[in-house]
Amino acid sequence: MTYIEYKALSPAEKVSYKVKEFFSLLPGRLKAFFAAIGKFFKNLCYSIVAGFKNYGSRFSKGDMATKISYIVMGFGNFTRGQVGKGLAFLAAEIIYIIYMANFGLAYLKKFDTLGDVATRQETDPVSGRPVNIMGDNSMLILLYGTMTILITFVLIGIYVANTKAAYDAEQMVKAGKKNLTLKEELQDFLDGKYHVTMLSLPVLLISIFTILPLAFMILIAFTNYDGQHTPPGNLFTWVGLETFRSVFKVGEGASKGYTFISLTKWTIVWAIFATFSNYIVGMILALMINKKSIKFKSLWRTLFVITIAVPQFVSLLLMNQMLQDDGVVNIIIGKLFHAQPISFFNSTALVARVTVIIINMWVGVPYTILQTSGILMNIPEDLYESARIDGATPVVQFFQITLPYMLFVTTPYLIQNFVSNINNFNVIYLLTNGGPTKNPNLYQAGETDLLVTWLFKLTMNSNDYNTAAAVGILVFIVCATLSLITFNLSKSSRNEEEFS
């Protein structure tokens, strides 16, 4: 379709055309997305192969000091005047050996089975009373085994860096150049490598508090860690993909599979409505406030800011009480219309779902108003002047100028909002606690539960830790895939300079 033909379409036809264009581009973008992933892993394999080649090449070309560095880390640097660097490499090797000998190796040996000695009860030969003899703790084996594996990978990286540093130091000596002294190395970390110094602590903390728990959670999904296999009283072990099979299994008696599919559909519907209802209503209110004929603009903006200032959980708990069968809303309805109380949260799935979407607008629209107000004020007024001269109505101006500009600027915000709504725990849990719970086919879930609230209930109510971990992995994959594809399809990604 040419630009002139597109301009001749009505606003509704333009929206329809954009939707069709999006879905027509989707297969190609999906193909490109997975091709990019394949290319990443291909380049990663090439890098690993190249690393092994360089590793062997340095050993064959290096002198005796460099070769000894392959066994005694830091030796090549230490003998060439780089005392500080040599001692650092040697210290890393010694600490790793001590750690493995006294702690890590014991857990790593049992990592393949996650323990084989169960806690048992025996009779004390002296007192004649039964006593518990503690066996293996599968939880600790999995946790410390994972930590040991990650530490080993870090040590491998340091080991490779040690061989490279030894070879480079040798080449500097052969070229007649002087290697950096300890003082010069320390000075370099406060000058040329200052970024390394500043990032070291954050990287360490991220590794301990993010990467390790994430790896631990992922591994739990491949075990049978549930209410019947809870340490230290019971052992759990590896079950491969069995947990994922139970999540995707459908048919008679497959309550987990039915629940996962049902809640996935509702989660996507919820995320779409929660995101775009807030966005559209917030944008319309922002447009109304920013109109020149509107008085007391500061007052309206202040009111919305005050709404944001109230903690969200307070607003949600208050709305929960107001909409109960004996709450304020039903009392007012009964007195005005002499009607029976409306069960907003416990009657049907449709009523409860519509209710939470509307209440989410109450707590979410003020954020959109503040987000869009500043952007609306930055749209060049010349565009609207030209449109009015051409006879464009306010509706045409909205679809031709305001909405395209807003979508271009706020697409990353929309993606972030969409993902956060998929994981919107507060609204659902504090309003309905997942209810109503009238569907007997749902496993540990209600009609308004999202995947994230179901994950919480699986963990806290039924101790299905492995299923919760599998659901968490799937939610992450869905969120990451949708975010990347949507952003790459948007003009924010393809035409970065369009509105600059």
Check the CA dihedral 330-333-336-339 and report its sign. Answer: negative
In the numeric block, which tokens belong to residue 230?
A: 């809870």
Stretch (H or E) spanning 484: helix 465-489
Q: Which two tokens stand for residue 154?
A: 């870090």
The pTM of the full predicted model, rounded to 2 decimals, is: 0.82
500 residues of the chain, pLDDT tens digit each: 665 666 676 656 666 666 677 667 667 766 776 787 788 888 888 988 888 889 899 999 999 999 999 999 999 998 888 888 899 999 999 999 999 999 999 999 999 999 988 888 777 777 778 777 888 999 999 999 999 999 999 999 999 999 999 999 999 988 888 887 778 888 888 888 888 889 989 998 998 899 999 999 999 999 999 989 988 888 999 999 999 999 998 877 789 999 999 999 999 999 999 999 999 899 888 888 888 788 888 888 888 878 888 888 899 999 999 999 899 999 998 888 888 888 999 888 999 999 999 999 988 998 888 888 888 888 888 888 888 888 888 888 888 888 888 888 888 888 888 888 999 999 999 999 999 998 989 999 999 999 999 999 999 999 999 999 999 999 988 888 777 777 666 655 555 545 44
Neighbours of 147 (CB within 10 A): 19
Which CATH fold would you assign to the domain 255-494?
Answer: MetI-like fold (1.10.3720)
Domain with CATH 1.10.3720.10 in the chain: 255-494
Residue 9 tokens, joined: 């379409």
Report d(CA 255, CA 249) in Å as an integer. 9
Q: Tens digits of per-residue pLDDT, 235-277?
A: 999 999 999 999 998 877 789 999 999 999 999 999 999 999 9
Asked whether 465 and 371 are in contact (CB, 8 A), the reply is no
Q: Read off the tokens for 242.
A: 């069995």
pLDDT tens column, 206-232? 988 999 999 999 999 999 999 899 888
DSSP-assigned letters across all residues of 280-340: HHHHHHHHHHHSTT---HHHHHHHHHHHHHS-HHHHHHHHHHHTSTTSHHHHHHHHHH-PP
